[in-house]
């Protein structure tokens, strides 16, 4: 190997092509593997990006800077006060009898920031609780008692079936019917949507965590749980006439009126599963007589518009959890985490690139100038 | 082949022909870690089921790379690396040096951007269990969006650079057979014991075909 002779050079050249071919093949194989993992080679694979595209299509247009779902809402602030009873179930610091501050958000379902409150079947509460130990617990809950469907794929199909038809501007009833037939569990949800009474306020609405989680206590015992926020404000139902005539923003107007008078409270009830209760299917409620534990009180003290409020740039990813709480085997949780991240990335990108004047309050500010 | 003339002579004063053991350990360990990070990263953002588990691996492994690259840079500046073969065309020398420094820059930049991007999103920068790193950037939409885009584009640049690095390393091993690959693959052999295994004296593995 010490000297290059003319013969050696040509023999090196003769040997070069198999080596070059091998190098090319190796590099190409690694690049292809990367592209496959990224989903670039499989346009049919359902990814968080494609799910979010379907949600945006269902919204009829892209509302820049707004959440791609639950777009209309207000920021709220307050605290959670533990009752101490949750400590037996979970070692999360906020279950001790202490106050844990939160930045929250009350919203309505739907992708339009201009949705009509009187028409929104689904209302929501999201909380980011910041414990003294530096840990966070994020939760996003809805007024429905169980999810519409039992799988991620089914929710995608529902999103597609509910999208406005480009010619009519409204969803195609045939597609919706086909979806309902393909997913029999949806009948339960449709029945709830039709028959459940509408409350008059966010303040007297029950919000349900819907997905199952695992609580781990100080001795390492694990319980499967779900939870609900039960309003301490008395329930009052809206009549269909009221719903048709209320102001399109009546929920936030009502909230402000109430908060001027007093803080609003919800009891956090934890429902403990029995062996055999379905944890992986959020479309199935657990029987009512399961053990309920009152673990504390959610207290909302103030609200601010979302365009400038602290909740705007928060992604209420339900898998941001403190020690003592983990996700369950419910596959919807991982899908939510993935799709919320895409929705969050897109709306923060809209804001950063100056495309989101309506979402950041800049439109209002400019409108006020002479 | 015309390596540095000292290549085949064992004398105390000879030029370095091999990276020292810490450099080699760091190189191969980090090569594996970076490949893993690139695949975990690109996979987790495209998955509706694996994101939570993959993100929880991605964050601490990325921070481990940040810690290791500090040690590695220190070692690189402290101990002279082997020089490139004297007959290497100057364009290739330039490409080698530029790409090595680009790799160092990216090994620092990627985890730092990851850490600050997660900070700017308002998420806790969880490492394991209840332990999280402090935020190193303000919770802000614009800061987040810029860092988030940089994390993607620099990851792709890192991937392409790593692929070219891999191609060049194999080119040295199988086509030029000039000892460059061996300089990272193994330590120097003490005189007399050099002809061992399937390697020739330059320490290169035999070509594949
Ligand atoms: C696979 C199923 C689901 C998908 C794809 C989905 C999608 C989304 C998206 C894209 C957002 C906007 C996120 C953001 O930009 O920050 C969102 C927000 C929200 N989701 Fe879901 N969601 C799903 C299931 C659920 C379930 C089961 C619940 C309730 C139990 C829920 C409750 C909420 C709430 C309350 C918000 C608003 C949070 C906030 O105020 O920021 N979602 N959802
Ligand atoms: C060598 C270091 C790193 C490499 C090579 C790397 C690579 C990647 C890649 C390829 C992606 C996918 C980007 C895309 O497709 O848009 C990604 C995403 C991500 N990385 Fe890293 N990363 C590194 C370090 C870190 C660190 C240290 C953190 C946090 C502490 C981090 C947090 C994240 C997060 C949270 C995402 C997903 C963001 C989202 O879904 O929006 N990374 N990374």
String of DSSP letters for A291-351? -EEEEEEEEEEEEEETTTSTTTT----TT---TTEEE-S-HHHHHHHHHHHHHHHHHHHHH
Q: How far is A348 from chain B (nearest CA, A)?
A: 5
Catalytic annotation on A70? yes
Quick check: A255 and A201 in contact, CB under 8 A? yes
Q: How far is A197 from chain B (nearest CA, A)?
A: 34
> Cα dihedral sign for A206, A207, A213, A214?
negative
d(CA B154, CA A37): 18
- Both tokens of B2, joined, read 């015309």
Same domain? A30 vs A51: no
- Name the residue of chain A whose CA is nearest to B208's CA: A19
Same domain? A243 vs A288: yes
Ligand 1 atom closest to A125 (CA): 35
Q: What is each CA distance from B148 to A316, B50, B155, B174, in whole angstroms?
A: 18, 20, 11, 39
Same domain? A14 vs A160: no
A205 belongs to a structural domain: yes
Q: Which residue has the higher pLDDT, A210 or B177?
A: A210
Asked if A4 has any chain B CB less than 8 Å from its own CB, the reply is: yes
CA-based radius of gyration for chain A: 26
Quick check: B125 and B59 in contact, CB under 8 A? yes
Reported as a pLDDT band with limits 50, 70 and 90, residue B17 is confident
B135 belongs to a structural domain: yes
pLDDT of residue A4: 40
**ipTM score here?**
0.93
- The range of the structural domain enclosing residue B72 comes to 18-80+89-185
> Over chain B, what is the mean pLDDT?
87
CB contact under 8 A, A34 and B149: no
Same domain? A124 vs A253: yes
Q: Output the domain CATH number for residue B52.
A: 1.20.950.20
Strand-strand pairing, A292-305 and A73-82: antiparallel
pLDDT of residue B208: 53
Residues of A in contact with B200 (CB under 8 A): 1
Residues of A in contact with B170 (CB under 8 A): 19, 22-23, 26
A242 belongs to a structural domain: yes
Using alpha carbons only, give the angle B92, A22, B104 rounded to the nearest 5 degrees.
40
d(CA A301, CA A77): 6
Reported as a pLDDT band with limits 50, 70 and 90, residue B7 is very low
pLDDT of residue B199: 41
Q: Which of A339, A346, A351, A359 to mutate to test the pocket of ligand 1 (most atoms within 8 A of CB)?
A: A339
pLDDT of residue B81: 87
B164 belongs to a structural domain: yes
> Cα dihedral sign for A80, A84, A88, A93?
positive
Nearest CA to ligand 2 atom 35: B118
- Both tokens of A306, joined, read 């979302």
Q: Output the domain CATH number for residue A68.
A: 2.40.180.10
Same domain? A38 vs A78: no
d(CA A66, CA A56): 11
Same domain? A196 vs A181: yes
Residue B31 burial (C-beta neighbours within 10 Å; 0-12, 13-18, 19+): middle
pLDDT of residue B15: 64
Model confidence at B92: pLDDT above 50: yes
B115 belongs to a structural domain: yes
Total domains in the fold of chain B: 1
Model confidence at B84: pLDDT above 60: yes
Active-site residue (options: A70, A183, A223, A292): A70
Asked if B189 has any chain A CB less than 8 Å from its own CB, the reply is: no
| pLDDT < 50: residue spans in chain A | 1-11, 369-370
Model confidence at B56: pLDDT above 50: yes
**pTM of the predicted model as reported, rounded to 2 decimal places:** 0.93
CA-based radius of gyration for chain B: 20
Total domains in the fold of chain A: 2
Model confidence at B195: pLDDT above 50: no
pLDDT of residue B206: 53
- The range of the structural domain enclosing residue A32 comes to 7-43
Phi and psi at residue A327, in whole multiples of 5°? -70, 165
């Amino acid at each position: 190997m010490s000297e290059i002779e003319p013969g050696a050079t040509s023999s090196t050249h003769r040997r070069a092509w198999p080596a070059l071919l091998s190098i090319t093949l190796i590099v190409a194989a690694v690049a292809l593997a990367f592209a496959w993992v990224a989903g670039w080679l499989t346009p049919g694979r359902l990814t968080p990006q494609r799910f979010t595209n379907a949600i945006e299509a269902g919204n009829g247009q892209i509302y820049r800077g707004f959440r791609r779902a639950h777009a209309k809402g207000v920021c709220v602030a307050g605290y959670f006060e533990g009752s101490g009873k949750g400590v037996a179930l979970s070692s999360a610091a906020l279950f001790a009898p202490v106050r844990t501050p939160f930045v929250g958000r009350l919203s309505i379902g739907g992708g339009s920031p201009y949705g009509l409150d009187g028409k929104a079947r689904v209302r929501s509460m999201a909380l980011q609780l910041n414990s003294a130990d530096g840990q966070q617990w994020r939760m996003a809950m809805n007024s429905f008692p169980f999810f519409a469907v039992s799988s991620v794929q089914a929710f995608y199909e529902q999103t597609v079936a509910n999208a406005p038809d480009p010619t009519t501007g409204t969803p195609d009833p045939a597609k919706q019917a086909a979806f309902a037939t393909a997913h029999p569990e949806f009948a339960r949800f449709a029945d709830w949507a039709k028959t459940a009474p509408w409350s008059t306020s966010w303040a007297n609405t029950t919000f349900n965590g819907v997905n199952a989680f695992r609580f781990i206590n100080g001795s390492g015992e694990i319980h499967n749980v779900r939870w609900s926020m039960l309003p301490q404000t008395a329930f009052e139902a809206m009549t269909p006439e009221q719903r048709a005539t209320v102001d399109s923003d009546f929920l936030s107007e009502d909230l402000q009126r109430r908060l001027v008078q007093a803080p609003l409270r919800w009891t956090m009830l934890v429902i403990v599963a029995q062996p055999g209760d379905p944890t992986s299917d959020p479309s199935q409620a657990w029987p009512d007589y399961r053990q309920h534990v009152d673990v504390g009180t959610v207290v909302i003290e103030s609200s601010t518009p979302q365009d400038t409020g602290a909740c705007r740039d928060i992604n209420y990813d339900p898998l941001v959890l403190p020690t003592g709480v983990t996700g369950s085997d419910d596959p919807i949780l991982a899908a939510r985490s993935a799709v919320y991240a895409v929705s969050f990335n897109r709306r923060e990108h809209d804001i950063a690139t100056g495309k989101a004047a309506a979402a950041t309050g800049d439109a209002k500010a400019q409108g006020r100038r002479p | 082949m015309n390596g540095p003339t000292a290549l085949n002579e064992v004398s105390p004063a000879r030029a370095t022909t091999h990276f020292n053991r810490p450099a080699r350990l760091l190189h191969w360990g980090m090569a594996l870690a970076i490949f893993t990070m690139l695949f975990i990263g690109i996979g987790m953002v495209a998955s509706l089921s694996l994101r939570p588990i993959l993100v929880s691996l991605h964050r601490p492994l990325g921070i481990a790379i940040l810690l290791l690259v500090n040690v590695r840079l220190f070692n690189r500046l402290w101990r002279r690396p082997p020089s490139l073969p004297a007959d290497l065309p100057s364009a290739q020398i330039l490409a080698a040096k530029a790409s090595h420094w680009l790799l160092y820059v990216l090994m620092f930049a990627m985890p730092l951007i990851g850490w600050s991007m997660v900070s700017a999103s308002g998420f806790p920068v969880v490492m394991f269990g209840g332990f999280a790193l402090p935020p190193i950037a303000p919770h802000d939409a614009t800061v987040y969006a810029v860092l988030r885009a940089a994390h993607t584009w620099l990851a792709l640049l890192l991937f392409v650079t790593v692929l070219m690095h891999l191609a060049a390393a194999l080119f040295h091993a199988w086509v030029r057979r000039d000892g460059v690959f061996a300089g990272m693959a193994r330590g120097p052999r003490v005189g007399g014991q050099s002809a061992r295994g399937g390697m020739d004296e330059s320490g290169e593995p035999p070509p594949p075909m």
